Structure 1
């Protein structure tokens, strides 16, 4: 679930002296050099999702809360937006970026699903990234150096609503420069704000030592076996589903 806040964290509040946080649906545009700053606490969720979707459809990159850490999102089918996402994050193009869809049933369009539908629903929505072989429908400019793709269905109503409005998957990665800790507050990646189309503030995400670990990434591309690519915040729960409930074996 997303968290509501009544005010922005202090560092982000200082940015607001130059460009006020406004409710989605207001018509006054911000200067082109500044991102649109939006708060989940102050705006109607549907209007806010519509506003962010408009930025994404114009090729922009948005920062937003997820069910794990803050993420950077762009339209996965827009090659220019994907390139912009890599540039902002200063990410090596050899490192793949996951995609985000709104329902487990949508995964099959973008990836060759090797797991039963019941297994998908036992893991998703949730803090898990499932890795499968990509289909030709997915933008070839996204992760061009691998036949695999990670797919997320976050347990976050705002984000799922946003993806539904975009009509296709989002490329989604943590909102930090490569090599730095994943952020739990919007002010923790303030050095990136000026390069973004909009920043959605959902307050502080998580308060446990596991919070910054992000999603658990598990490769299910070979039916009946799995490989934990990244332990993340839900490794134990993921193993329990795969091993105990479905009898899948771990491959090293």
Structure 2
């Protein structure tokens, strides 16, 4: 059972040239304060809800085993289904993944609506996806998410903000039944891509090949980069 929290709902206002402005629903708070509150909740082992460039997500610190367990309980998620990690910068990927591709390829795809799957390094929490040697990594094209990862200084475990088997969400009211189990809900407004498909997931753990695990919302543009620019051979899941 997840203990009910006094959930803080924080509203993400439109971006400025210097990044997003954030404001609490209950009272005014500047952007640094809201980012600070979200980081504090994560560091205390809580789960938070956040907007990404595709759908809303649930996140916790990937290196915190108890927090990872909370995400599974909140979603009712099968424990044999992996969680992705989210980092703030391309160079951070190599800390947690054994990268088999050129950094230029990573720069071409990230930040963006793509999850890249690699062999994990020993630095990543062993209790995160202990049933597989692989891990998916994301850098959402969303300033708030990137700043949050940078401030945390470690990866976030990330999954969609919905009860398992239900539709992905593109507005915070769509997962309101989960709010009592979350420390912070960051309301970024409706997400522009209404497809609800989530990110395109590609396994790049085998040199020279790319395996499509989930088509997601960016398959054509992703394949264009992987196949036409870098000459990788594409296969679909099950091949």
In 1, the alpha carbon distance for the partners of 2:158 and 2:229 equals 29
Q: Does 1:49 align with 2:35?
A: yes
Select which of 207, 212, 215 maps to 1:228: 212
Cα RMSD of the aligned pairs, angstroms, is: 1.0
Select which of 32, 40, 51 maps to 2:12: 40
Once the two structures are superposed, what CA deviation does each residue of 1:87-136 show, in whole Å capped at 9, x if it has no partner?
A: 10111110000000001111011010001000000000000000000111
> SS in structure 1 opposite 2:186?
strand
Q: Does 1:247 align with 2:204?
A: no
Instruction: State the Cα distance separating 1:220 from its structure 2 match.
Output: 0.2
TM-score under structure 2 length normalisation: 0.89
Q: How does 1:53-202 map to 2 (within 5 A)?
A: 53-202=39-188
Instruction: State the Cα distance separating 1:155 from its structure 2 match.
Output: 0.4
In 2, the alpha carbon distance for the partners of 1:168 and 1:159 equals 13
Call closer, same or farther: CA 1:235–1:147 in 2, change over 3 Å.
same
In 1, the alpha carbon distance for the partners of 2:229 and 2:150 equals 30
- Bigger strand fraction: 2
Instruction: Flag as ranges the 4+ runs of structure 1 deviating above 6 A.
Output: none
> SS in structure 2 opposite 1:242?
helix
> SS in structure 2 opposite 1:96?
coil
Aligned pairs, number? 219
Contact 1:131/1:218, CA 8 A, preserved across alignment: yes
> SS in structure 1 opposite 2:163?
coil
In 2, the alpha carbon distance for the partners of 1:184 and 1:218 equals 22
In 2, the alpha carbon distance for the partners of 1:207 and 1:105 equals 27
Once the two structures are superposed, what CA deviation does each residue of 1:153-210 show, in whole Å capped at 9, x if it has no partner?
A: 11000010001111100000000011111000000000100000110000000254x3
TM-score under structure 1 length normalisation: 0.85
In 1, the alpha carbon distance for the partners of 2:152 and 2:122 equals 20
In 1, the alpha carbon distance for the partners of 2:220 and 2:33 equals 37
In 2, the alpha carbon distance for the partners of 1:52 and 1:207 equals 24
> SS in structure 2 opposite 1:139?
coil
Contact 1:224/1:249, CA 8 A, preserved across alignment: yes
